[in-house]
Structure 1
Amino acid sequence: MTEDKWSRSEQRIISIIEKFTTYKNWISFMHLSIEAKIDHQTLTNHIDLLIKRGTITEYRGKNKSRLFCISGHSDDIEYNEQFRDFTQRDLLTKEEANEKLSKLYKLGTDNLYHKF
């Protein structure tokens, strides 16, 4: 019974990460914690196991924040981190942040952002 509960919790975590992340987006530990409604320690245990299995990828941000996405969707992290800085720290709107980033990055033929 506890294995079934553990498995359901893992599936819920994976589905939340899939829901909130796409090819170029990551979800923070705090956001995942709120959405999953799982206590901090249990969530940490699930995440560590999913990382070991290679199901999800973790990125440690500049400010020690933990960001997650489904493995294989981990491109453009520098671009996304800069976007988060602009919208959260500098309190810019999404449009203002995109405009500022368009002066620093160009979308390449490989569908990834590159500094120019």
Structure 2
Amino acid sequence: MIEDKWQRGERRIITIIEKFTTYKNWISFMQLSIEAKIEHQTLTNYIDLLIKRGIITEYRGKIKSRLFCMSGHHDDIEYNEKFRTFTQNDSMSKEEADEELSK
């Protein structure tokens, strides 16, 4: 029973990360936690295991953020981190952030 619950949680995390990777984005730990509805310590355990297996890739940001995507789907992480900073901290819309970064 525990193994089934663990596998369901693992599959849910992979599905969420795949969804974000499809749109060429990395997902943050906090966003993943909210989407997956899993407590932080359990989520950390899942993530560590998925990284060890090579299923997902982790990027540690400049402001100690943890970002994740599916392995093999790396894109411009610097662009994504700046995009995240603009949309979260500066309250820019996605369109405004894209325009700012294309300058």
| Shorter-chain TM-score range | over 0.9
Distance 1:95 1:37 in 2: 28
What is the CA distance between 1:20 and its match in structure 2? Answer: 2.4
Contact kept in structure 2, 1:51 and 1:57, CA below 8 Å: yes
Which has the higher Rg, Structure 1 or Structure 2?
1
Give the letter for the 1:72 counterpart: G
Structure with greater proportional helix content? 2
2:21 paired with 1:43: no
Partner secondary structure for residue 44 of structure 1? helix
Report what 2:97 is aligned to. 97
Count of equivalent residues: 103
Report what 1:77 is aligned to. 77
What is the CA distance between 1:59 and its match in structure 2? Answer: 0.5
With structure 2 as the length reference, what TM-score do the two structures score? 0.92
2:30 paired with 1:26: no
Distance 2:49 2:71 in 1: 13
Q: Which has the higher contact order (CA 8 A, sep 6+)?
A: 2
Distance 2:3 2:45 in 1: 14
With structure 1 as the length reference, what TM-score do the two structures score? 0.83
Instruction: Give the share of equivalent positions with the same residue, in percent.
Output: 81
Please give the root-mean-square deviation of Cα atoms over the aligned residues, in Å. Answer: 1.2
What is the CA distance between 1:25 and its match in structure 2? Answer: 0.5
Contact kept in structure 2, 1:23 and 1:73, CA below 8 Å: no
Report what 1:3 is aligned to. 3
Partner secondary structure for residue 73 of structure 1? coil
Report what 2:63 is aligned to. 63
